Amino acid sequence: MKKLAVVGVMVLALGATAFARGHRNWNGSEGMHNFGNTSCQSSSNHMNFKRSTEMEKSSILIGEKKLEIRKEMLKDSPDWNKIEKLNTEISTERGKMRTAGMKARFEYNKTLPNQN
């Protein structure tokens, strides 16, 4: 009788885990569990920063470089030197964007009152 109960519990546990749906969306945008404001999770407008025109131009440039890489990869024999050059240009542009963002955050933090 004990063996039958143990086997029954094991089958029940296996069935419960096999048909579990999982946790699809942790940000609260779908479902009933919205625990507060999720606007602080937005990366495009973090701390009320608006993207400057230079940042927009940089992201467009990066998109164009990625498109060139994709076009090159569609060829039968891609030019790997060209792909490497494009990847280097993308990383350089991303570095410039990151530095500009750091400068903007630093300047913004200097305007805040001292929070001790």
Q: What is the pLDDT of residue 30?
A: 52
Question: Which residue type does 52 have?
Answer: S
Residues of the domain holding 92: 52-116
Q: b/e map of 12-50 (b: 16 or more CB within 10 Å)? A: eeeeeeeeeeeeeeeeeeeeeeeeeeeeeeeeeeeeeee
What is the count of structural domains for the chain?
1
Tell me if 89 is assigned to some domain.
Answer: yes
Residue 22 has phi, psi (to 5 degrees) of: 85, 180
Residue 45 lies in a domain: no
- Residue 115 banded pLDDT, cuts 50, 70, 90: low
Residue 44: its pLDDT value, please?
A: 46
pLDDT tens digit sequence for 79-106:
999 999 999 999 999 999 999 889 988 9
- Asked if the structure places residue 100 within a domain, the reply is yes
pTM of this structure: 0.53
Residues 6+ apart with CB under 8 A from 23: none
